[in-house]
Amino acid sequence: MTPIQACRPCAKRKVRCDKLQPCSNCKRRNTVDRCTYAPSTPSDRIRQLEGLVRELGNKAPGNVASRSNTGGGTQCERSALSTIRSNDPMLVEEDGAIQYLESRSWRPWRADVGSSQGTQLPGGIAPIPPPQLPHALVGILAHKDPNNIGDESPDRHRFRVLWDIFQERVEPLVRIMFRWQISDMMIADTTQLSNSMRSLMHAIFYASANSLTNDQCLVLLQTPKRVLLDECQLQCEKSLLGPDLFCVKDILTIKAVIFYVIASIGRLSTQSLWSIMGMTLRNAEKLGLHRDGLLLGLGPVPIEDRRRVWWQLQHLDLALAVRIGLTPMTLSAGWDVEMPSNIEDDDITLTSSAIPRARKGLTSMSYCLFTYWVLKQQRQNFRANFGHFELSWQINPEFDGSVKNEMMAQLEDGINREFIQYCDPINSLDVFLQLFARLFIASMHLRILHARVVLGKGDDDRAKLLQASTQTLRYNIAIQSQSSLAKFRWLTKAWFNWQAFMCVLIEARDTVDMVQAQELWKLLLDVYAAHGELLDFAEDRRRVQAAEIVLATWNTHKDKLAGQITMQPEILSKVSHDLAAYRTTLDPVMDSASLRDEGGLLPLDTQPEATVLEQDFSFDLDFQDIDWSFWISME
C-alpha cells in the first residue's frame, strides 16, 4: 500500500516525496538516509481503504463516504465545474476539521505529513508544531457583563502617548478617519463617550501599541510590549462588546473592528479574525456601505467616509484571505462603491456641498489609494473577462501566459503612472509607498515565473526568476534598513517572502560564477542582518528550516567559495548559535553551556550534533524537489 505521507528524510528536508519504496530522493542520496515512513493514523488508513473501494466500483456506505470529502467526482466532472477557475482546489482535514483551500499552493505542510504525534524526525530532532495562536475574543464573550464593559480609561500619560503614536505610525497607513475627527476625539471627555466611540478609542490604542517596538514601549510607557499589548487587547475586546457585534448599528464600530483586526494579525488566529471580518462585512452591508453614497443621496463627508471604510474592509479581507488560502466572495459580488478621492482632509468639511476635485500627484491618502487601486484593477479585469476574480490567478495554469503578462503590464504601467512618478524622496511616506509598490510588482512577477519554472514549463525563465527574487529581497531589505521608514515597519512585520529567499539560496548553491555566488550569499546575509525577527524561531517553523538549510549549504559549499568571498559570515555564527539555543528549549538533554567555548561562539563546523541538519547533508535539491507549499503558506 502506497504511503500517504512523505518519508521521514523528505519530511525533514521539506521536499516533495514520490512515496516509493525507497523514494527517488533517498535513492539519489545513496543511502545517506534510511527511507522510512511514519505509521499512518487509523483515520488515514480508513480513507485509503475507502478510496480503494471506490476504485473497484463499489459504493462505500453513506456515512463513510460522507467523511471522504476529497474524493468525490470524476476528473471530467471537476474539469467541467472549474472552467477557468483554479483547477486544484482541495479540502484539507486537520485535527478532525475540514477547511477549503482555493489552490494547493496554500496547502499547509502539516496537512501533507499528517499528525506529528508519536513521530520523531531522524537524528533525534522532534518535529516542530505550528504555533497555536489564541482566537479573537476568547474568554470575553462568555463573561460579558452589560453593566461593566469597556469603561476603563487609560491614564493621561498613556492616553497622550498612544494618540501621538497613532497619528505618527498608524493613521498614515490606515486612513479611515478624518484628521479633524481624530482631534475631536483626543480632547473629548472619555467618561462621556458612547459605547461605539469608546470601542473605537480602545481599538486605536491597541493598534498604536502594536506599532511600537519593545524598546519603545519601555522608554515611552515603562511597560514591556507584550504586557502593553495584552492590556490593550483585553480592553479593546471588552469595549467591542458594548455595541452588539452581531448587530452593528453605526460606522464607528466598523472602524473599531478594522483597527482591532489590523493589530491582531500575526497575534491571534487568522481563522477567528477571518470570521470576525465576515460578520463585519455583513454588518457593513446592512448599513449600506456596499452601495456608493452618491446613489443614496448622502452629503460629501458621509460619502467619502463610507468609501474609505468599505475599501479598507475589502483590502483587509483580502489580506486575511491570502493567509487563509482563498478568494473572498465579496470581491466577486456586485457592489458599486467608488474609490475614495485623492484629497487632503482639509479639502473637505461638514459644510462642503460637493466632494472636491481630486488632486494631481500624491496626498496623505496615496498609500491607501495604491492598495485599493491594485485591488480594483484586478477585480475589474477578471470580472469583465472571466466573470469572477480569484487570488491565485498568477499560479493558475488555466490562465494563459499572455493573460498574466497583459495583467502585469497593466498593473505595472498604472502603478508607475498613478503613484511612483510622483514619489518625493524626502517624504518618508512617499518612499515607503515607492518601495512597497516596487516590492509588490517584483513579488507578482516572482509568483508567475516561479509557477512556470516549478512545472518545468519555463526553463528559459529561470534567470528572470532569480532577478525577480533578488529584487524582492532587496526591496524588503531597503524597507527594513532605512531609518526614516522605521515608524511604518509594523505593517510588514508579519510578511516575509520565503519564496524569494529559497530561490536565491538554490541559485547560490548552483551557480559556477564565483562573482554571482558572492553577490547572492551577501544578499542572504543582508537579509538576516536586516530581519532580526528571523532568529525568533518560536514564531515560525520556516525560520528554523531556513536557518538549518542555510547553515548546511554554507558548510557544504564553503570550500568551493574559498578565496572568492571576502566577507566573514559573522551573521552565520549568530544564526548557528541562536538555532542551537532554540533547539535546547526543545531538547533539554542538550546543555546550553555547550554552545559556547571560552572565546565566545563556536565555529560552524564544531557546533554540537543536531544543531543543524546532518553534518554530511548536501542541499542538492532543485525547484521541483522543494515543497513550495511549506514556504509559500502564510501561517
Amino acid at 579: L
Q: How confident is the model at residue 482 (pLDDT cuts 50, 70, 90)?
A: very high
Nearest alpha-carbon partner for 205 in 236, 243, 178: 236
pLDDT band for 191, please (50, 70, 90 cuts). Answer: confident
User: What is each CA distance from 468 to 48, 458, 464, in whole angstroms?
Assistant: 41, 14, 6
Range with the poorest average pLDDT among 163-172, 351-360, 541-550: 541-550
Separation CA 247–CA 121 (nearest Å): 49
Q: How far apart are CA 378 and CA 411, in angstroms?
A: 8
**CA 228 – CA 494 distance, rounded (Å):** 19
pTM over 0.95: no
Confidence (pLDDT) at 334 = 82
* CA separation for the pair 398, 26 (Å, rounded): 33
Q: Which of 53-67, 106-120, 389-403 has the highest mean pLDDT?
A: 389-403
Q: How far apart are CA 199 and CA 288, in angstroms?
A: 21
179 or 47: whose pLDDT is higher?
A: 179
Q: What nine digits make up the cell of 447?
A: 509568483
pLDDT on residue 554: 82
Q: How confident is the model at residue 161 (pLDDT cuts 50, 70, 90)?
A: very high
End-to-end CA distance of the chain: 32
User: Are β-strands 600-601 and 596-597 bridged in parallel, bridged antiparallel, or unpaired?
Assistant: antiparallel
Most confident range (mean pLDDT) of 323-337, 376-390, 518-532, 554-568 is: 518-532
Domain range list for the chain: 8-111, 141-394
Mean pLDDT of the region 216-240: 94
pLDDT reading at 52 higher than 80: no
- Residue 513 in contact with residue 537, Cβ under 8 Å? no
For the ranges 137-146, 171-180, 497-506, the one whose mean pLDDT is highest? 171-180
The SS3 call for residue 415 is: helix
Burial string for 440-455 (b: 16+ CB within 10 Å, else e) reads: bbbbbbbbbbbbbbbe
What confidence score (pLDDT) does residue 247 get? 83
DSSP 512: -
Cell numbers of 163, please? 494618540
CB contact set of 313 (below 8 Å; sequence gap of 6+): 254, 258, 277, 280, 281, 284, 289
Confidence of residue 31 (pLDDT cuts 50, 70, 90): low
Q: Could you tell me which residues are beta bridge partners of residue 92?
A: 99
Lowest mean pLDDT among 143-152, 200-209, 580-589: 143-152
Who has greater pLDDT, 560 or 301?
301
Per the model's pLDDT, the better-predicted residue between 511 and 592 turns out to be 511
Q: How much of the chain, in percent, has pLDDT values that exceed 90?
A: 36
- Quick one: pLDDT at residue 141? 55
The yes-or-no verdict on residue 43 having pLDDT over 70 is no
Over the stretch 252-310, which tens digit does the pLDDT of each residue have?
999 999 999 999 998 998 889 999 999 999 999 988 999 998 888 889 999 999 999 99
Contact by Cβ (8 Å): 323, 133: no
Please state the rounded mean pLDDT for residues 345-350: 93
Q: What is the pLDDT of residue 338?
A: 95
Q: How many residues would you count in the chain? A: 635
